[in-house]
Structure 1
Amino acid sequence: MAGCSATVSKPALGVAPENATDHHVRDSKGELIGFQNPHPSAGVLRNTLQTLGKMFLSRLQGKMPAPDLSNVHIPVIKPHFLEDKSQTQSRSNDTKALRATWLGHACYYVEYPNGLRVLFDPVFEDRCAPSRFVGPKRYTQPPCTLADIPKLDAIVISHSHYDHLSEPTVRELAKHNPEAHFFVGLGLASWFRDTGIDKVTEMDWWEDATLTIKKPIITADGKETVEEIDAQISCLPCQHSSARTGWDKDTTLWCSFAIKSGGKSVCVRLAARCPHFKHIGELRGPFDLGLIPIGAYKPRWMWSGLHSNPYDAVEIFKDTKCEKAMAIHWGTWVLTIEEVEEPPKLLKEAMKTSGMPETGVFDTCAIGETKEF
């Protein structure tokens, strides 16, 4: 039986606010040279030397202690994935539910009811850094190997930071999933092509694309046929930054993404709270599931314009009109100074403060655990 195939329609600007391109930075000739956060909420310290100087002084004064990892208990379990439809007879594994499995930090594997499989921001290396020998090191391990993940249809990368984009991971995923299509922000496609990956579509905020998958299946009476699956991919705003070296800051776009398929919708956001999220809720919502960051937020003078804390995350949840949400961007690497098990505790407090249930609406889970929506 022939393998799967995928086609992507050219991204087109969907419904967008009037200031949809305020994030573009152009030179004197009008050429796009980079990106910016257009809202005042991004006004944290922007000068790198100034930030480093304040960090150094704060550490000397004992105001930025490293988190204690000596007694951390973040559970990691082996994930359970559905079998690939193309490898099974009939549709015995079909489910009307959306299945979402947390694979650590910002990586989620999502199985849609119609068989679409999407992986968000996979990084399976020990360190999220340019080097294998320095930089943040995992204190929790991946719950599986990349080879354990069933065949993928789409892989979505939110931005270029090393805790969201890993060259070894991307190369291995492309090897195991030659038909999978990558979706990235403006400016990142050339990085993928330099890595040897041509099935990549870069998108700007508010652009929509249609991914069409043709999957061979075996019907109940043993006949071979082809099933066609469509998904709407939306690239959406967020407030953050990008860089992989000291010379490419903000030259590629950071993005939220939403994917709708099989009657279910997921929105993933990896950034600080800002007015963008109300626009997303109004123009692309509501969503069945939001994957919302709750970690890497202290000190706030440094991170409030880039990362959301749990209280911000609850407001993002409400702004974007998500029915349910799962927490991401915590529990894997020490990136900031809050204690690593603090974010889930503060999330419950934030939900209670907002008058919502502490559990069952916006939750955390074990790494490797699957939830259905």
Structure 2
Amino acid sequence: MASVSISSPSKPSPTPEDAAAKKHHNKEGKGFINPWESYHDIKPWQFMRYVFLGKMLGERRDPDITPPTVPVHKPDFLPSRETKTLRATWLGHACFYVEFPGGLRVLFDPVFTQRCSPISFMGPKRYTDMPCQIEDIPYIDAVVISHNHYDHLSHPTLVKILEKHKNVQFFVPLGNKPWFDKLGFKNATELDWWEERELRISAAEGAEKELSATISCLPCQHTSARGAFDRAHTLWASWSIASGGKKVWFGGDTGYRAVPKIDNGEFDYGGQHAELPHCPAFKQIGELRGPFDLGLIPIGAYDPRYLMSPMHANPYDSVNIFVDTKCKRALGIHWGTWVLTQEDVLEPPQMLRKALKWKGLDEDGVFEVCDIGDSREY
């Protein structure tokens, strides 16, 4: 039986000077806010107008999901915990399985269901197949959750994980632990932005030595909700995982800047929009917690920009986040699985190539995408 220890680090990592002020805590109500000029709230009626009237008004279209779209392959997980490199496998949307040197195995934002919805027969349905099942993953020591939206937090998936991996530890942003406790997931640790924990696991299955990691909860620009009346009641976050001499930054789901409604085809990093405020948290992350060997950075679900940009990065935002956070390499996430917005399903990687060239970063492999089920080593 594995023995697990979770504690505050003896030598805490640096934090911003204003971290103690907790400006992201809602002082005038329940829950949390994005405390930056780079964010503004999109009102529910704006979404409803877009969803229900958008087609009739010619403002919304459904992207073509006719196959082929994103190739899907059966993952080739390592048969043991032995590896000298950092290995990351994309399992669709924001889900990545990361194998660290030293043996630690971490699963980010797992959703192994056909729909990302509270209702099994309604809501966004996969247009690409699941590359595997939870039962196919040999080891899972920690599950890291960015926030509680249904395309990132899946109750049926967590049940399956816990059935096979009894000692798995869940790491969640502040306010999410009561949900985990209520549903019987007892191994949940919740953290606020800039907080961190040391995870140590002895006698883990297949491990010849103690597994250890430093797990840090970090800011991002997003929101949360599981229902109609709990918007922003729980926190959203990005994460840093350091283990075996390697460090990964997981962006989860985030925006970078709020873009107003502009003419179709107009480049929103040009002209009068070039100097729109951007989220300063990513530069703080890079300066205080970077550099990172690998960034898992969202690149999809961004169109229309006037609705989505406060919460979802497009690839031009993504390359700025990549630079700000001081990631040495990056893989694109948050695309290729469900239709959540109206950009073409293969547009995110195409736009990413253009954005890298625009930023002067068009070197092979510096920030790339892979097929679902494929792995990259660093």
- Superposition TM-score, scaled by structure 2 size: 0.89
Does 1:98 find its partner at 2:94?
Answer: no
Task: For 2:35 and 2:183, locate their aligned partners in 1 and report how far apart those are by CA, in whole Å.
Answer: 31
Instruction: Give 1:339's aligned amino acid.
Output: D
Aligned to 1:354: 359
Residue in structure 2 matched with residue 88 of structure 1 by the alignment: none
Whole-Å Cα distance in 1 between the matches of residues 4 and 141 of structure 2? 8
RMSD of equivalent CA atoms? 1.7
- Helix, strand or coil at the partner of 1:211: strand
Which of 57, 61, 69 is equivalent to 1:65?
61
1:155 is matched with 143
* Superposition pairs of residues 211-226 of structure 1, within 5 angstroms: 211-215=199-203
Counterpart in the other structure of 2:212: 230
Task: Indicate conservation of the 8 Å contact 2:218/2:285, yes or no.
Answer: yes
Give the counterpart of 2:7 among 3, 9, 14. 9
In the TM superposition, residue 11 of structure 1 has moved relative to its aligned partner by: 7.6
Answering whether residue 227 of structure 2 is matched by residue 245 of structure 1, we say yes
The aligned residue for residue 91 of structure 1 is none
- Counterpart selection for 1:48 from 44, 52, 55: 44
Aligned-pair CA distance for 1:14: 4.2
Matched, 1:311 2:316: yes
| 1:19–1:52 distance in 2 versus 1, CA, 3 Å | farther
Partner of residue 77, structure 1: 73
Give the Cα–Cα distance (whole angstroms) in 1 for the partners of residues 70 and 53 of structure 2.
32
Secondary structure of the residue aligned to 1:266 is: strand
2:281 alignment counterpart: 276
User: Following the alignment from structure 2 to structure 1, what is the Cα–Cα distance between the partners of residues 66 and 229?
Assistant: 36
Q: Would the aligned equivalents of 1:151 and 1:176 in 2 still touch at CA under 8 Å?
A: no
* 1:135-164 per-position Cα deviation (integer Å, ceiling 9, x unaligned): 000001111110000121100000000000
State the Cα distance separating 1:49 from its structure 2 match. 1.6
The residue type paired with residue 254 of structure 2 is A
- How far 1:54 moved relative to its partner? 4.7
Could you say which residue in structure 1 is the equivalent of 2:26? Answer: 25
Identify which of 114, 118, 126 aligns with 2:106. Answer: 118
Moved over 6 A (4+): none
Distance in 1 separating the partners of 2:178 and 2:162: 16
Alignment of 1:173-192 (within 5 A): 173-192=161-180
Question: Aligned equivalents of 1:200 and 1:260: distance in 2?
Answer: 19
Q: How many residues align structurally?
A: 352
How many angstroms apart in 1 are the aligned matches of 2:348 and 2:69? 13
Matched with 1:39 is: 36
Can you give the 5+ residue segments of structure 2 that lack an aligned partner in the other structure? 257-278
Q: Secondary structure at the match of 2:157?
A: helix
Q: Deviations over 1:12-41 (max 9, x none)?
A: 9742213321100135xxxx8300000111
Specify the SS of the correspondent of 2:210.
strand
Q: Deviations over 1:52-77 (max 9, x none)?
A: 22554432222211001124421100
Offset from partner CA, 1:192-228 (integer Å, 9 cap, x none): 111111101000000010000113688xxxxxx9511
Distance 1:120 1:11 in 2: 22
1:340 equivalent to 2:329? Answer no
CA distance in 1, matches of 2:307, 2:129: 28
- CA drift of 1:95 comes to 2.5
Provide Cα deviations, 1:101-125, integer angstroms capped at 9, x if missing partner.
0000000000001000000000010
Query: CA separation in 2, counterparts of 1:44 and 1:248?
Result: 15
Deviation at 1:44, TM superposition (A): 4.7
Change (3 A) 1:76 1:9: same
Equivalent residues of 1:267, 1:290 under 8 A apart: yes
1:255, 1:9 → 2: CA distance? 20
Structure having the higher strand fraction is 1
TM-fit CA distance, 1:10: 4.2
CA distance in 2, matches of 1:11, 1:56: 50
The share of aligned pairs that are identical, in percent, is 52
Q: Give secondary structure in 1 for the equivalent of 2:328.
A: strand
Deviation at 1:359, TM superposition (A): 3.1
Deviations 1:304-356 (A, max 9, x none): 10000011000000000000000000000000000000000000011111111
Q: What does residue 267 of structure 2 align with?
A: none
Partner SS, residue 15 of structure 1: coil
Equivalent residue number for residue 304 of structure 2: 299
Take 1:150 and 1:6, find their aligned partners in 2: how far apart are those partners? 19
Provide the rounded CA distance (Å) in 1 between the counterparts of 2:113 and 2:221. 26
Cα distance in structure 1, aligned partners of 2:46 and 2:337? 28
Counterpart code for 1:153: D
Secondary structure of the residue aligned to 1:70 is coil
Structure 1 gap segments, 5+ residues each = 86-93, 219-224
TM-score, normalising length: structure 1: 0.91
